[in-house]
Amino acid sequence: MTDSPVLPSRPPSGADGEADGPAPAPATPPATPSAGGGAAVTARSLLGTAWLRIRRSRIALAALAVIVLMVLFAVLAPLLTGIEGQDPYTTRTSPDVLDDYGTPGLPLSYYRYPSGEHWLGLEPGLGRDIFARMAHGARISLVIALLSTAVSVVLGTVLGAAAGYFGGKVDMVISRIMDLFLAFPHLLLVLSLTPILQSRLGGTALDRGSLLPIASLVIILGFFGWAYLARVVRGQVLSLREQEFVEAARSYGASHRSIILRQIIPNVMGVVLVYATMMIPTNITAEAALSFLGVGVKDPTPSWGQMLNAAQAGNWYLTDPWFLAVPAGALVITVLAFNLLGDAVRDALDPKSSRG
Amino acid sequence: MPHEKTPDPSRGAAEPLLRIRDLHVSFPTDDGTVHAVNGMDLTLGRGETVGLVGESGSGKTVTSQALMGLLKETRASVTGEILFDGTDLNALDEDRMRAWRGKKIAMIFQDPLSAMHPFHTVGAQIAEAYRVHNKVSRKAATAVAVDMLGRVGIPDPKRRAAAHPHEFSGGMRQRAMIAMALVCEPELLIADEPTTALDVTVQAQILDLLGDLQRETGTAVVLVTHDLGVVAEVCHQVVVMYGGQCVERGAMRDVFRDPRHPYAQGLLASMPSLADTAGRLTPIPGFPPSLTTLPAGCLFADRCPQTHLVPDDLCRSARPELAGSAAHPSRCHQEVHAIQREAAR
């Protein structure tokens, strides 16, 4: 789970070559002539250029579409399950629904697979609606992944920028903390800390939809993800603070705060963005892994990882592989989409790739 | 540090805007201490222009950084007095210095492309420089910025204010940089090689603009340059720097007509002249002294063609003081001992 994306070097902060020249033919297939024609030289920021390049890559667009769909799926979960007419918590254990004989709890085949009534079938054992649990689970999985990434990004950017900008003792302290965090065996620590944190925050008996596991996962994943980003940001800032525009800002009397916020941070946003898009899928899998291992989101609250855990717990994956395939498939598709988008963002922000 | 308010009787109209006395700047490095500035003196009146001339490594830029207080909170050690309008800038702490930067003393840089932030629009950057010292809304500051862009001769300033620095030509960028420096109407402008990155025609335009703005606002200018042509065009006073010292200073005409120090003579001799078309330029042989281990004698002695004129090998054993006429002193033993120097020419 230690994902170390190869990060691009900082795009030229408007160094020579920014303003000039017709771009070589882009390596990405169909170059829409309207988008990048030299005729309209309008104000185009680095992010603007990157967006143009992303728009031109089919893979990136497909990945983006998948992500948007997944986010919509999560956001609209109550609406979608309302249309379906189901909810994620109702159990159905009557013998009409769940097998009573050979494999007790296995849904009868009408209920096991997608139908008009239950769009993705029923869960074995408790007979809850899989579609409803997937939709509500998506909310929790994505919220945990996005929030923990946000925590990491904010911590990493602020601490990395402070270390790089101020140097000296500040840098020493922050860098040693970074080293400490990077040196810890991640998974072990998270595994052991999560239950402790959960019990500290308010006991282990969890109600449905309890925010506790979400909060604890966000804190834990966010808190252990910032060190690598901080180190990257620190390195960038180290060279940025020697740039003349920083000296120029000092020479007109700007404060440290304003220099960090207005001069330095905008220049590391590219790297931070790339890192964030790579960190989101890592955190989705981390949430799933932790829930699968039983320290994350717990039944009855649904999350994709919790559903994988349920499929594994009763050996249901042997008799009802469908129940395993649904959350696993969603997880794979989502993580793949985020990774592909992350790659595309990285390429798009890399000034050395052919310009758009 | 002396921070007392000296009741200075000469204070008033005669008091210069800026007086640097015995400025020393050194940087600790792994290879020893680099003595970048070694006893720099400079006096500048209101509305005047002084040219700081010297080759690379002569301490011009470090002097201007020390002037801006940019070396505070670094490992550099800065000693001496930088009296600006009667206040010793070197004794101010970073917070108080910050309030002066931009408002009283501003700076323009050699390469405006790297001195302006690539992501913010030109107008926003000028507005930001204004807002640091003036509590106004972003909108009002932008109006000031647009006005300032117009004053530095940028056509259609309203539209250009919304453009990014890389969309400007080199000359336009330097104009924008000047607008950014002058937006708070400072009393002193430090121009660190403002025309070096520009081609010659644009150079002349920028120098004209600086001159015009200076007459308009009464700003004093410290012009750091290695281009003697630029100095001849705009400066009232010239300070020739070598090895972090002022080796000669005087009115522009005097220094150009009658350079006293062998280094200044060498600098002028290495400049192409329109009148004298014969032969090659005369370079100054050798390299500047190592700033980590300064020689005991004159810093220029190793490259000086006139050491034989000074008795007792004084050039290599004793560091000369500034001597000669008060209006045009130079730091040479020949001057100190009033040696008849015409023979050397």
ipTM > 0.95 for the complex? no
> Strands (DSSP E) along chain B, which ranges?
18-29, 32-44, 49-53, 77-84, 87-88, 105-108, 188-192, 220-225, 237-242, 245-251, 323-325, 328-330
At residue B345, the pLDDT reads 41
Q: What percent of chain B has pLDDT over 70?
A: 92
- For residue B237, pLDDT over 80 is answered with yes
Report CA-CA distances (Å) from B250 to A95, A97, B240, B328.
107, 103, 9, 4
| Domain range for A317 | 67-349
At residue B144, the pLDDT reads 94
Task: Give the model confidence (pLDDT) of B168-186 as tens digits.
Answer: 988 899 999 999 999 999 9
Answer whether residue A42 is part of any domain.
no
CATH number assigned to the domain comprising residue A220? 1.10.3720.10
**Cα nearest neighbour of A18 on chain B:** B166
At residue B267, the pLDDT reads 86
Rounded to the nearest integer, the mean pLDDT of chain B is 86
Evaluate whether A248 touches A254 at the Cβ level (below 8 Å).
no
Residues of B8-31 as b/e, b for ≥16 C-beta within 10 angstroms? eeeeeeeebbbbbeebbbbbeeee
Interface size A-B, in CB pairs within 8 Å, comes to 92
Kindly determine whether residue B162 and residue A45, on different chains, have CB atoms separated by under 8 Å: no
Answer whether residue A7 is part of any domain.
no
Kindly determine whether residue A252 and residue B106, on different chains, have CB atoms separated by under 8 Å: yes
CB neighbours (10 Å) of residue B284? Answer: 18
The partner residue sitting opposite A255, judged by closest CB among B98, B107, B164, is B98
**Residue of B70, B280, B66, B108 whose CA lies nearest to B194:** B108
Q: Does B301 touch chain A (CB under 8 A)?
A: no
Residue keyed to tokens 């370079």: B283
- CB contacts of B109 in chain A (<8 Å) are 244, 247-248
Kindly determine whether residue A245 and residue B111, on different chains, have CB atoms separated by under 8 Å: no
Quote the tokens at residue A164. 């790089």
Which one of B70, B117, B148 makes the best mutation probe of the A interface by having the most chain A beta carbons within 10 Å?
A: B117
Q: Does A239 touch chain B (CB under 8 A)?
A: no
CA distance A251 to chain B (A): 6
At residue B221, the pLDDT reads 93
Answer whether residue A304 is part of any domain.
yes
CB neighbours (10 Å) of residue B227? Answer: 16
**Residue of A76, A135, A83 whose CA lies nearest to A302:** A135
The partner residue sitting opposite A254, judged by closest CB among B118, B132, B167, is B132
**Cα nearest neighbour of B119 on chain A:** A45
Q: Does A18 touch chain B (CB under 8 A)?
A: yes
Kindly determine whether residue B114 and residue A255, on different chains, have CB atoms separated by under 8 Å: no
Going from N- to C-terminal start, the domains of chain B cover 41-73+92-242
Answer whether residue A3 is part of any domain.
no
pLDDT confidence bin for B9, thresholds 50/70/90:
very low
- CB contacts of B184 in chain A (<8 Å) are 252
The partner residue sitting opposite B166, judged by closest CB among A14, A244, A253, is A14
Quote the tokens at residue B29. 């490095």
Answer whether residue A47 is part of any domain.
no
Q: What is the pTM of this model?
A: 0.76
My answer on whether omega of the bond before B155 falls inside 30° of 0, hence cis, is: no
At residue B74, the pLDDT reads 83
Task: Give the model confidence (pLDDT) of B110-166 as tens digits.
Answer: 888 889 988 889 999 999 999 999 999 999 999 999 999 999 999 999 999 999 888
Q: What is the mean pLDDT of each run of 10 residues along chain A (356 residues)?
A: 42 40 40 38 61 86 94 93 89 83 81 88 89 92 93 94 92 94 82 80 62 84 90 93 90 90 88 89 90 83 89 86 93 93 83 52
Domain count along chain A: 1
The partner residue sitting opposite B70, judged by closest CB among A18, A251, A258, is A251
Domain made up of B41-73+92-242: CATH architecture: 3-Layer(aba) Sandwich (3.40)
Kindly determine whether residue B119 and residue A43, on different chains, have CB atoms separated by under 8 Å: no
- For residue B188, pLDDT over 60 is answered with yes
The partner residue sitting opposite A244, judged by closest CB among B102, B111, B129, is B111
At residue A355, the pLDDT reads 44
Which one of A246, A250, A251 makes the best mutation probe of the B interface by having the most chain B beta carbons within 10 Å?
A: A251
Answer whether residue A31 is part of any domain.
no
Answer whether residue A23 is part of any domain.
no
Q: Does A245 touch chain B (CB under 8 A)?
A: yes
Kindly determine whether residue A252 and residue B120, on different chains, have CB atoms separated by under 8 Å: no
